[in-house]
Chain A
């Protein structure tokens, strides 16, 4: 059974930093791309970032480019999202999602999702 468990959410200050983690199990973690998708309160889904199975390729939404960094530790089956220069508009539930494929640049989808971790940015 595929399981994705996010952690690290909480209250962050504008301009501050938070790091999210996602512990994966039930599949060969290093063989699949992984992504972060967020959902602001009462709003729709917004893709944030993706990383290739081996970690060599990464992509970011324009809204977070230069502020967020995605990384993975395949030896620990863990995905991370380092969030710097936080803004109020980063407030959202952040979901970890498993991609169907190993690559991130193609017409693929997210076949499993975690339950999400809530991030609130406020002073």
Chain B
């Protein structure tokens, strides 16, 4: 089955930049989507098709995808960005696959 690996946690000071990686075999050949899940809430789509933003996602959020790693970047981090973040792809054999999740802590 296809596996997506994320770091368990990322800590960042307010105003700084957080980078969350999502590693998978040749993930650069797939479309990667990212979800934010605040504590006790449902997931919310923040980035789709590697780097596109829904209208409700702040411009501070951006994405990239190449080789074996996709990255979600949050610039000028705010307290409200504290959440779990999951990457997601679709794989022919495995169906929809989610990454292991990364907890972003704002210091």
Q: Flag whether B45 is at the interface (Cβ < 8 A).
A: yes
A45 and B98 form a contact (CB under 8 A): yes
The A69-123 residues at the B interface (CB cut-off 8 A) are: 95, 100, 105-116
> How big is the B interface, by class?
20 to 34
Do A61 and B100 touch (CB < 8 A)?
A: no
Does residue B86 face the partner (Cβ distance < 8 Å to A)? yes
Q: List residues 36-78 of chain B with CB under 8 A from any CB of chain A.
A: 37, 41-45, 48-49, 54
Q: In the assembled complex, which residues on chain A have CB atoms less than 8 Å from the CB atom of B97? A: 47
A109 B101 Cβ-Cβ under 8 A: no
A108 engages B86 (CB within 8 Å) = no
Judge whether B98 and A47 touch: CB under 8 Å.
yes
Q: Given A45-B35, A108-B90, A109-B88, answer yes or no on A35-B96 (Cβ-Cβ < 8 Å).
A: yes
What residues on A are CB-neighbors of B1 within 8 Å?
62
Residues of the B chain whose Cβ atoms lie less than 8 Å from the Cβ of A105? 90, 92
Most interface-central of B37, B96, B101 (chain A CB within 10 A): B96
Number of A-B contacts (CB under 8 A): 63
Contact B90 A106 (CB under 8 A): yes
The yes or no answer to A59 lying at the interface (CB within 8 A) is yes
- Chain B residues contacting A108 (CB-CB under 8 Å) are 31, 90
Residue on B nearest A112 in the bound complex, by CB: B45
Whether B89 lies near A107 (C-beta < 8 A) is yes
> Which residue of the partner chain B has the closest CB to A115?
B42
Expressed in whole angstroms, the Cα–Cα distance for A60 and B33 within the complex equals 20
Residue A26 is within 8 A (CB to CB) of chain B in the complex: no
Q: Which residue of B lies closest to A99 (CB)?
A: B96
Q: Quick one: which of B45, B49, B84, B99 has the most chain A CB within 10 A?
A: B45
User: Residues of A at under 8 Å CB distance from B?
Assistant: 35, 37, 44-47, 50, 59-62, 95, 100, 105-116
